[in-house]
Structure 1
Amino acid sequence: MTTHRKAPRIHVAADFIVGGDVVLPEGPARHVARVLRLGEGAPLRLFDGMGQEASAVLVEASRKRVVARIEAVAAGGGESPLAVHLGQAISKGDRMDYAIQKAVELGVAAITPLYTEHGDVRLKGEREAKKLAHWQAVAVSACEQCGRAVVPPVHPPLALAEWLAERGEALRLVLHPATDAQGGLERETAPVGVALLIGPEGGLAEDEVEAARAAGFAALTLGPRILRTETAPVVALSLLQYRFGDL
């Protein structure tokens, strides 16, 4: 009996033209040829990260070069009607990767890693650039898995005060356990955009919460239990997508 494997989705930042060939970059090429062990004639789904998706077939799959031929191009799906910009305090180890991965799966539009008072991660220069590239790769991988054709940007890290000064979203929420408030979740109409602020493992300092309130952020609690910094965006984004988006 022949089994049909689902065509893998691969992100390639290229122009898709029907009948044209796309040479896969080193990382995706290695994944296709050495990890998945696909050969000539195997189907692929490609997406450009900007909203275009293509059906393709491998026409070359050697150790040196992997080439896909575009067979059809269409607008991709999977985007939420609710644009949420997540400001996520930087956390150590896999926690930040998890927060980014799950936020992308839940339709976030943009992510900015934040330096906060109680956050214990400080990145500079080349180390910050390498970490940013890694986080963006996590977002790309999440898009490949969940079916999104638009890769949300992971912006360079900012100090919390800088990020607050840039906010203009219609609904701005800061997670704060010491409140019974429901933020803006009780509003009747869906906001044009949402800014969501998540603090570090030790929580936001009181003056940071006050700075967020001064910048138009409403406090939001997620119940009686204190959630980890990587769990909080999953719960908050799920609520927002259920209330105003497409869950």
Structure 2
Amino acid sequence: MSAPRFFCSAPLAPGGIVSLPDNAAHHVVRVLRMKPGDELTLFNGNGSDFAGEILRINKNEVVAKLNRATPAGRESPLSVTLAQAVSSGDRMDFTLQKAVELGVSAVQPIAAERSVVKLNGERAEKRREHWQNVVVSACEQSGRATVPTVAPILPLTDWLGRGETYALKLALSPMAEQRLHDLPPPDGPICLLIGCEGGFSPQELLAAAGCGFVPVRLGARILRTETAAMAAIAAMQTLWGDF
């Protein structure tokens, strides 16, 4: 059985001694009931895993010693930014969790015209922090040692106006004629744009097309927003990545 993995934002190095973050310490003590001498793995997002062992447990504080570092080697050869329109309930959490497991490299939440959830100011930042924690947990589970960043929420037009460069820009649309397998393999970063529960408005789709986004569809069926990202990333990994 592999050692439990935990994210730790502190600097990590072989021979170092670190205190685990509160949430990780709680999981070690209250859930896993680990003891001094038990092995664990820490990572801080730099691409390496650090194998170590628990030195001591004081109430809810867990102190570990790091023994060695190894490259995790679990990153996808594809660099995919998921531009996901904000969805309601647990849908957004589920979408980000599965996208990270499938290898997405960055997340841009989009405020779309038809988004049910409207967030701004402090509420938007708190939700972004929550989503970042969802991403961290997905990295812990999936063995990834590079943590995708969840950017602040932006309206679609504001984000498109930034003019970010990608080798391939894709916008999922059930009305599109092209499918993923009709496209040549990209020679650089990919951006995948996905709508919310009601999809993007015609004006939003026109704006995306004007910025170089290619409309594509995934088969003949209309997918829910939380299914679309998962299906599209898995298909790209099969066609061009490491599946």
**Which of 173, 176, 187 is the aligned partner of 1:176?**
173
Q: CA deviation at 1:162?
A: 1.9
Describe how 1:220-239 pairs up with structure 2 within 5 A. 220-239=216-235
- Residue in 2 that maps onto 1:80: 76
**Which of 84, 101, 115 is the aligned partner of 2:111?**
115
Structure 2 Cα separation of the partners of residues 64 and 233 of structure 1 = 38
Q: Is the 8 A contact 1:76 1:149 kept in 2?
A: yes
Q: CA deviation at 1:50?
A: 2.1
Structure 1 Cα separation of the partners of residues 186 and 166 of structure 2 = 12
- Residue in 2 that maps onto 1:17: 13
Write out per-residue CA displacement over residues 3-28 of structure 1, whole angstroms, 9 at most, x where no aligned residue.
Answer: xx431011111222222201111111
Describe how 1:170-209 pairs up with structure 2 within 5 A. 170-182=167-179, 185-209=181-205
DSSP 3-state at the match of 1:231: helix
Structure 2 Cα separation of the partners of residues 191 and 59 of structure 1 = 47
TM-score, scaled to structure 1:
0.94
Q: Is the 8 A contact 2:22 2:60 kept in 1?
A: no
Unaligned runs of 5+ in 2: none
Write out per-residue CA displacement over residues 200-242 of structure 1, whole angstroms, 9 at most, x where no aligned residue.
Answer: 1111101111111100011100111111001000010011111
Write out per-residue CA displacement over residues 40-60 of structure 1, whole angstroms, 9 at most, x where no aligned residue.
Answer: 000001111121210000001
DSSP 3-state at the match of 1:232: helix
DSSP 3-state at the match of 2:207: helix
Q: Is the 8 A contact 1:180 1:220 kept in 2?
A: yes
Structure 2 Cα separation of the partners of residues 57 and 221 of structure 1 = 48
Are 1:155 and 2:119 counterparts? Answer: no
Unaligned runs of 5+ in 1: none
Q: Is the 8 A contact 2:170 2:213 kept in 1?
A: yes
Structure 2 Cα separation of the partners of residues 76 and 129 of structure 1 = 30
Q: Is the 8 A contact 1:84 1:195 kept in 2?
A: yes
Structure 2 Cα separation of the partners of residues 246 and 233 of structure 1 = 17
Q: CA deviation at 1:62?
A: 2.5
Structure 2 Cα separation of the partners of residues 176 and 188 of structure 1 = 19
DSSP 3-state at the match of 1:135: helix
Q: CA deviation at 1:64?
A: 3.5
**Which of 97, 120, 123 is the aligned partner of 1:127?**
123
Q: Is the 8 A contact 1:38 1:61 kept in 2?
A: no
Structure 2 Cα separation of the partners of residues 180 and 77 of structure 1 = 36
Q: Is the 8 A contact 1:33 1:62 kept in 2?
A: no
TM-score, scaled to structure 2:
0.96
Q: Is the 8 A contact 1:77 1:147 kept in 2?
A: no
DSSP 3-state at the match of 1:119: coil
Structure 2 Cα separation of the partners of residues 144 and 82 of structure 1 = 20
The number of residues matched between the two structures is 242
Q: Which amino acid aligns with 2:170?
A: L
Q: Is the 8 A contact 2:26 2:60 kept in 1?
A: no
- Residue in 1 that maps onto 2:242: 246
Q: Which amino acid aligns with 1:35?
A: V
Runs of 4+ in 1 over 4 A off after TM superposition: none
Are 1:213 and 2:209 counterparts? Answer: yes
